[in-house]
């Protein structure tokens, strides 16, 4: 007998499974049961949407079904095609045998949505594949290919062709054989000589990596229960821990992030262009101009995505340097992949060509310019591209702040010009900010989004303004951090608060890593510091607003961060990575305060957190009100994937909604009153409006903006 299950479990699917199993057990003519998915997919587990109403969630009913499968008196075989994830894999673990298609993937990704495998998975998997392998799968949520699953003993057979036929063959073969040895709940967990030490170390490791996220830690506790308690007791512990996570705000935040990352694919612009009507152009070949840090990563990304690339530098010396660096990156990437070097084929000039000749860009479908952030240089390049490239070619600029319209104005085809803001390292970071200008065509946006997908990145479409979304929101955040130093704090105190909140790295460590000179050059360009600053400008004021010259002063002392061995911190050597608090800087801050008559005060953690985060969030409301992004999810996805925002806090706008908009507003009002010369702390009108209409849920915010976005 065959029972089909569906892609993700609803109550109806669970009921059908239960009915089918009971019928099969009762029918003497049925000798074995096979469970498979529909349309070549086994199951992606429980419906994640349902977890927001936990009491009635169908996932809760899954565990008894898994037990029912296991206790069947007839052999049950899972035929795994496509994916068996979460509850899907737990159902397969309840089966007595598992056959997987060679291309199938399996995993227990519950941890990534703030949960643990709550349908007995934390108790069965360690019994099948041992504690180390089970813990690795459960705490990382990674998907493993069928070949690896076979090696681990997670599946019994791999089918190259027809999985269902292979599963039926196996079912027929095992009819009549004893089932007890196949029931995982009856098996002991394989012992390790040093189980206690192993679990203790595993806990320390996951806690360190989790940065405050609870689920990985509770996953370890559930697996520990499997290793220490009888099956039934272990199950009780699993249920207890599952319910704890289910009711936590973290699970809600992580599930929000899961759907937000999918929602941003449905992009729209205030002018009415949208994903539903725009057609992407095929990208069969690409070129990258500039082989600095960003260009190298972008070339690597394109090669990995199997897109033939022409990599261009301005002269032979830079080309040689760039080529060497790209080859090194590609070799490293190839080592991480099975059959990597062969698959990437990067020594083949048809796949990757290095040149100084612009003429070779004539036929490519897409060009990504990744030279310095210098408007004149970028315009010169785009003018050239506009003359050389074929008419349909998409012209992308990798910039983190510059005006797309101005760059496009250097071409005769502004509709084909678009910003693609990659994040460093570009072959690793998942975010791609895609910036449309006033003339960018819907098809150009769709093509850039398709490129993001091909590069395995998350593309987020945003409007054109200084710093776009990510850096624009970052500016008031970093500004507050520096103001806090002026007022009495220290870099390590500010960083610690934000790292405890869950950021991968605090603002000062980040600035040391990126290089303080980058911002310094930009401020010099804007006339905020350096020789073009008009004589008599007050040291701590620009355009009537508060300004801190501290970062400029550090640069004047040659303190650029890690690259010079000192910045906000001291490093063991130039290029060193271990930051230690620097007494020189502490003295420098004290002298600075004396010079400017600032009386240092003790600043508590709450103020540090609120001033940095609420200033960032406040800018987010401005961005939404201006139509630069089409929803709060866009901002959140950008922050989670590009700026190290802790995913278990759902992104800055989601976080604001959990703190409560009235509280965010009240706090901004309070800080703004104390610092009237800091516009970043002045509550944005859109935030005020949302509070005035009763702080609606985040999903409804955009219906209150004055401009109307087209229906998504
Ligand atoms: C008691 C507890 C029992 C158990 O332990 C709990 C669980 O099982 S927890 C569950 C553990 N399982 C997981 O965490 C698996 C989560 N899912 C995934 O990892 C990927 O979706 C998958 C690999 C399956 C397909 O990737 P892909 O091919 O790139 O495709 P895609 O990603 O674009 O998805 C297509 C559409 O399907 C939607 N959707 C997908 N899955 C679910 C779901 N479970 N639910 C709801 N919706 C889901 C997705 O939103 C999207 O919708 P839309 O409207 O088109 O935007």
Residue 112 CA: nearest ligand 1 atom is: 14
Q: Quick check: CB of 44 below 6 Å from ligand 1?
A: yes
Q: How far does the centroid of ligand 1 lie from the alpha carbon of residue 112, in Å?
A: 11
Whole-angstrom distance, CA of residue 565 vs CA of residue 303: 34
Q: Quick check: CB of 86 below 6 Å from ligand 1?
A: yes
Q: Are 584 and 570 in contact (CB under 8 A)?
A: yes
Class of domain 2-247: alpha beta
Question: Could you tell me which of 113, 108, 112, 109 has the C-alpha nearest to residue 123?
Answer: 108
Q: Which residues are CB-contacts of 285 (< 8 A; sequence separation ≥ 6)?
A: 307, 308, 309, 310, 363, 364, 365, 366
Whole-angstrom distance, CA of residue 575 vs CA of residue 520: 19
Q: Quick check: CB of 110 below 6 Å from ligand 1?
A: yes
Beta bridge partners of 36: 4, 79
DSSP state, 647? Answer: G
Q: Are 492 and 693 in contact (CB under 8 A)?
A: no
| The pair of three-digit structure tokens given for residue 467, joined into one six-digit string | 């710093």
Q: Where in the chain is the domain with CATH 1.10.1040.10?
A: 489-595, 608-704
Q: Could you tell me the sign of the dihedral formed by the alpha carbons of 81, 85, 86, 89, in that order?
A: positive
Residue 46 CA: nearest ligand 1 atom is: 8
Per-residue HEC secondary structure of 311-343 comes to EECCCHHHHHHHHHHHHHHHHHHHHHCCCHHHH
- Best probe residue, ligand 1, of 5, 45, 103 (max atoms within 8 Å of C-beta): 45
The protein residue whose alpha carbon is closest to atom 52 in ligand 1 is: 262
Annotated catalytic residue within 18, 70, 73, 90: 90
Pairing, β 394-397 against β 366-369: parallel
Q: How far does the centroid of ligand 1 lie from the alpha carbon of residue 259, in Å?
A: 9
Whole-angstrom distance, CA of residue 542 vs CA of residue 532: 13
Q: How far does the centroid of ligand 1 lie from the alpha carbon of residue 48, in Å?
A: 7
The protein residue whose alpha carbon is closest to atom 33 in ligand 1 is: 262
The protein residue whose alpha carbon is closest to atom 11 in ligand 1 is: 86
Beta bridge partners of 504: none
Q: Quick check: CB of 59 below 6 Å from ligand 1?
A: yes
Q: Are 42 and 155 in contact (CB under 8 A)?
A: no
Q: Where in the chain is the domain with CATH 3.40.50.720?
A: 286-441
**Measured in whole angstroms, how far is the alpha carbon of residue 682 from the centre of its chain?**
30
327: how many CB neighbours lie within 10 A of its CB?
A: 16
How many alpha carbons lie under 13 Å from residue 471 in its C-beta half-sphere? 19
- Best probe residue, ligand 1, of 13, 14, 37, 44 (max atoms within 8 Å of C-beta): 44
Q: Which residues are CB-contacts of 646 (< 8 A; sequence separation ≥ 6)?
A: 211, 212, 213, 501, 502, 503
Question: Could you tell me which of 349, 357, 305 has the C-alpha nearest to residue 327?
Answer: 349
DSSP line for 146-170: HHHHHHHTS-SEEESS-HHHHHHHH
Q: Quick check: CB of 100 below 6 Å from ligand 1?
A: no
Q: Where in the chain is the domain with CATH 3.90.226.10?
A: 2-247
Q: Quick check: CB of 45 below 6 Å from ligand 1?
A: yes
Provide the pLDDT for residue 16.
87
Q: How far does the centroid of ligand 1 lie from the alpha carbon of residue 257, in Å?
A: 12
For the chain, 712 residues long, the average pLDDT of each consecutive 10-residue run is 64 87 94 91 89 62 93 96 96 98 98 97 98 98 97 98 96 96 98 96 96 97 97 97 94 97 96 95 98 96 97 97 96 85 84 97 97 93 97 96 96 98 95 98 98 98 96 97 98 98 96 92 90 92 96 98 97 96 98 97 98 98 96 98 97 98 98 96 98 97 76 39
Q: Could you tell me the sign of the dihedral formed by the alpha carbons of 289, 292, 293, 297, in that order?
A: positive
**110 catalytically annotated:** yes
Provide the pLDDT for residue 5.
55
Q: Quick check: CB of 243 below 6 Å from ligand 1?
A: no
Q: Compute the residue count for the chain.
A: 712
The protein residue whose alpha carbon is closest to atom 55 in ligand 1 is: 262
DSSP state, 426? Answer: T
**Fold (CATH) for 286-441:** Rossmann fold (3.40.50)
Q: How far does the centroid of ligand 1 lie from the alpha carbon of residue 132, in Å?
A: 26
The protein residue whose alpha carbon is closest to atom 29 in ligand 1 is: 262
Q: Quick check: CB of 113 below 6 Å from ligand 1?
A: yes
| The pair of three-digit structure tokens given for residue 447, joined into one six-digit string | 């093509």
DSSP state, 543? Answer: T
Burial 619-655 (b: 16+ CB within 10 A, else e): bbbbbbbbbbbbbbbbbbbbbbbbbbbbbbbbbbbbb
Q: Quick check: CB of 48 below 6 Å from ligand 1?
A: yes
Q: How far does the centroid of ligand 1 lie from the alpha carbon of residue 157, in Å?
A: 25
Provide the pLDDT for residue 710.
45
| The pair of three-digit structure tokens given for residue 302, joined into one six-digit string | 């394109």
Q: How far does the centroid of ligand 1 lie from the alpha carbon of residue 53, in Å?
A: 17
Q: Quick check: CB of 47 below 6 Å from ligand 1?
A: yes
Beta bridge partners of 368: 288, 396
Whole-angstrom distance, CA of residue 98 vs CA of residue 108: 16
Q: Quick check: CB of 49 below 6 Å from ligand 1?
A: yes
Q: Could you tell me the sign of the dihedral formed by the alpha carbons of 638, 642, 648, 653, in that order?
A: negative
Q: Quick check: CB of 141 below 6 Å from ligand 1?
A: no
The protein residue whose alpha carbon is closest to atom 45 in ligand 1 is: 47
Q: How far does the centroid of ligand 1 lie from the alpha carbon of residue 38, in Å?
A: 15
- Best probe residue, ligand 1, of 7, 85, 89 (max atoms within 8 Å of C-beta): 85
Q: Quick check: CB of 119 below 6 Å from ligand 1?
A: yes
Residue 113 CA: nearest ligand 1 atom is: 14
Question: Could you tell me which of 413, 418, 455 has the C-alpha nearest to residue 437?
Answer: 418
Q: Quick check: CB of 138 below 6 Å from ligand 1?
A: no
Q: Quick check: CB of 8 below 6 Å from ligand 1?
A: yes
Q: How far does the centroid of ligand 1 lie from the alpha carbon of residue 8, in Å?
A: 7
Long-range contacts of 179-183 (CB under 8 A, 24+ apart): 179/72, 179/73, 179/75, 179/96, 182/75, 182/96, 182/97, 183/70, 183/71, 183/96
| The pair of three-digit structure tokens given for residue 544, joined into one six-digit string | 């009537």
Q: Quick check: CB of 82 below 6 Å from ligand 1?
A: no
> For 373, phi and psi rounded to 5 degrees?
-75, 75
Provide the pLDDT for residue 56.
57
| The pair of three-digit structure tokens given for residue 432, joined into one six-digit string | 């791609």
Annotated catalytic residue within 38, 70, 73, 110: 110
Residue 266 CA: nearest ligand 1 atom is: 56
Whole-angstrom distance, CA of residue 377 vs CA of residue 311: 18
Note whether ipTM > 0.95 here. yes
Residue 258 CA: nearest ligand 1 atom is: 50
> For 344, phi and psi rounded to 5 degrees?
-75, -30
Thinking of the domain 489-595, which architecture would CATH place it in?
Orthogonal Bundle (1.10)
> For 107, phi and psi rounded to 5 degrees?
180, 165
608-704: which CATH number, 2.40.50.100, 1.20.1260.10, 1.10.1040.10, 1.10.3720.10? 1.10.1040.10
Q: Quick check: CB of 62 below 6 Å from ligand 1?
A: yes
Residue 47 CA: nearest ligand 1 atom is: 45
């Amino acid at each position: 007998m065959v029972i089909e299950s569906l892609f993700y479990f609803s109550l109806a699917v669970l009921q059908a499974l239960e009915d089918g199993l009971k019928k099969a057990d009762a029918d003497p003519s049925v000798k074995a049961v096979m469970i498979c998915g529909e349309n070549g997919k086994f199951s992606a587990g429980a419906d994640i949407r349902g977890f927001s109403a936990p009491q009635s969630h169908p996932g809760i009913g899954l565990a008894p079904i898994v037990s029912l499968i296991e206790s069947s008196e007839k052999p049950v075989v899972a035929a795994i095609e496509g994916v068996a994830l979460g509850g899907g894999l737990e159902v397969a673990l309840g089966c007595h045998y598992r056959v997987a298609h060679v291309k199938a993937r399996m995993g227990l990704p519950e941890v990534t949505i703030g949960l643990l495998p709550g349908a007995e998975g934390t108790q069965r998997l360690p019994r099948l594949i041992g504690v180390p392998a089970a813990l690795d799968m459960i705490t990382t949520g990674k998907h493993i290919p069928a070949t690896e699953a076979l090696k681990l003993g997670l599946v019994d057979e791999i089918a190259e062709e027809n999985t269902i036929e292979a599963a039926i063959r196996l079912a027929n073969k095992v009819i009549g054989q004893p089932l007890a040895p196949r029931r995982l709940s009856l098996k002991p967990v394989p012992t390790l000589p040093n189980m206690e030490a192993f679990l203790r170390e595993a806990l320390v490791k996951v806690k360190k990596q989790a940065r405050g996220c609870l689920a990985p830690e509770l996953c370890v506790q559930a697996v520990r229960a499997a290793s220490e308690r009888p099956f039934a007791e272990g199950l009780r512990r699993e249920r207890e821990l599952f319910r704890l996570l289910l009711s936590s705000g973290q699970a809600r935040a992580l599930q929000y992030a899961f759907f937000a990352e999918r929602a941003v694919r449905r992009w729209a612009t205030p002018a009415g262009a949208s994903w539903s009507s725009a057609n992407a152009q095929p990208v069969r070949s690409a070129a990258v101009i500039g082989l600095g840090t960003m260009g190298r990563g972008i070339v690597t990304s394109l090669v990995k995505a199997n897109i033939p690339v022409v990599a261009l530098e301005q002269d032979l010396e830079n080309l040689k340097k760039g080529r060497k660096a790209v080859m090194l990156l590609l070799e490293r990437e190839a080592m991480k992949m099975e059959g990597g070097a062969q698959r990437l084929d990067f020594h083949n000039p048809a796949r990757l060509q290095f040149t100084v000749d612009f003429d070779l860009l004539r036929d490519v479908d897409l060009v990504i310019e990744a030279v310095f952030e210098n408007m004149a240089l970028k315009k010169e390049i785009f003018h050239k591209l506009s003359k050389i490239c074929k008419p349909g070619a998409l012209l992308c600029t990798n910039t983190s702040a510059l005006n797309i319209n101005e760059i496009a104005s250097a071409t005769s085809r502004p509709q084909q010009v678009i910003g693609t803001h990659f994040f460093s390292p570009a072959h690793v970071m998942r975010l791609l900010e895609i910036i449309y200008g006033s003339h960018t065509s819907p098809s150009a946006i769709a093509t850039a989004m398709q490129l993001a997908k091909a590069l395995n990145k998350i593309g987020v479409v945003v409007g054109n303004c200084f710093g776009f979304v990510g850096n624009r929101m970052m500016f008031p955040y970093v500004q507050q951090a520096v103001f806090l130093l002026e007022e009495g704090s220290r870099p390590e105190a500010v960083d610690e608060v934000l790292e405890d909140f869950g950021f991968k790295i605090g603002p000062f460590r980040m600035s040391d890593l990126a290089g303080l000179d980058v911002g310094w050059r930009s401020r010099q360009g804007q006339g905020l510091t350096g020789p073009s600053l008009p004589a008599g400008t007050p040291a701590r004021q620009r355009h009537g607003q508060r300004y801190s010259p501290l970062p400029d002063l550090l640069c004047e002392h040659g303190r650029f961060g890690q690259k010079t061995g000192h910045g906000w911190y001291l490093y063991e050597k130039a290029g060193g990575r271990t930051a230690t608090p620097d007494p020189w800087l502490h003295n420098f801050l004290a002298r600075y305060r004396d010079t400017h008559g600032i009386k240092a005060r003790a600043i508590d953690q709450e103020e540090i957190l609120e001033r940095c985060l609420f200033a960032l969030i406040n800018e987010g409301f401005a961005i939404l009100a201006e139509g630069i992004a089409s929803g709060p999810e866009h901002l959140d996805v950008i922050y989670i994937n590009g700026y190290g925002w802790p995913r278990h806090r759902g992104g800055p706008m989601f976080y604001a909604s959990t703190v409560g908009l009235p509280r965010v507003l009240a706090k901004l009002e309070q800080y703004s009153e104390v610092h009237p010369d800091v516009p970043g702390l002045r509550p944005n009108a859109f935030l005020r409006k949302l509070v005035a209409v009763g702080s609606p849920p985040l999903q409804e915010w955009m219906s209150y903006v004055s401009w109307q976005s087209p229906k998504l």
